[in-house]
């Protein structure tokens, strides 16, 4: 749902002049979609993917906490119940590391797909 909403917003935010120029050059609907609309909406699609990934991690851990006998969420919950702070910290660190690297992977994909975009990258 998050990816859909961001994709929809990305498409709706495209400057109408870009589509008009493509039509003025007699581009068909397929070319307009793949050469104008999709590249212009890609930043929003990737933002939706990153938010969806964050949500997926949160929901995965929450579901493991509630109704599972395996996984990192269960490890943290079981460690809490039996006062094993070291296992609990290892579980939390593992979640943090996995979340960090999956986010970095999507950020790398974003940099590769959006080389044409001139935006602030941080200092």
Q: DSSP label at 114?
A: T
Could you tell me the two tokens for 91? Answer: 């579980």
What pLDDT, on a 0 to 100 scale, did the predictor assign at position 69? 82
Q: Does 120 fall in a domain? A: no
Give residue-wise pLDDT tens across range 48-103.
Answer: 999 999 999 889 888 888 887 888 888 888 888 888 888 889 988 999 999 999 99
Kindly report the CATH number assigned to the domain that includes residue 7. Answer: 1.10.3720.10
pLDDT at 63: 87
Closest CA to 37 of 55, 57, 2, 12: 12
Distance CA 99, CA 102 (A): 5
% of the chain at pLDDT higher than 90:
35
The structural domain count of the chain equals 1
Average pLDDT, the chain: 88
- Does 118 fall in a domain? no
User: Tokens representing 52?
Assistant: 């969806």
Indicate the pLDDT class of residue 44, thresholds 50, 70 and 90. Answer: very high
> Which region among 25-29, 56-60, 117-121 has the lowest average model confidence (pLDDT)?
117-121
121 within domain boundaries = no
Residue-range definition of the domain harbouring residue 46? 2-113
Distances (CA, A) of 38 to 17, 26, 42: 15, 18, 6
Instruction: Tell me whether residue 53 is in a domain.
Output: yes
The 3-state DSSP class for residue 68 equals coil
């Amino acid at each position: 749902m998050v990816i859909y909403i961001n994709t929809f917003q990305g498409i709706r935010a495209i400057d109408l002049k870009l589509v008009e120029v493509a039509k003025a050059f007699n581009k068909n609907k397929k070319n307009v979609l793949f050469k104008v609309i999709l590249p212009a909406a890609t930043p929003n699609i990737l933002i939706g993917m990153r938010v969806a990934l964050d949500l997926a991690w949160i929901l995965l851990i929450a579901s493991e906490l509630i109704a599972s006998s395996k996984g990192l969420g269960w490890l943290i919950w079981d460690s809490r119940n039996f006062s094993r702070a070291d296992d609990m910290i290892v579980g939390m660190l593992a979640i943090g590391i996995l979340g960090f690297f999956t986010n970095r992977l999507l950020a790398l994909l974003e940099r590769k797909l959006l080389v044409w975009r001139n935006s602030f990258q941080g200092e």
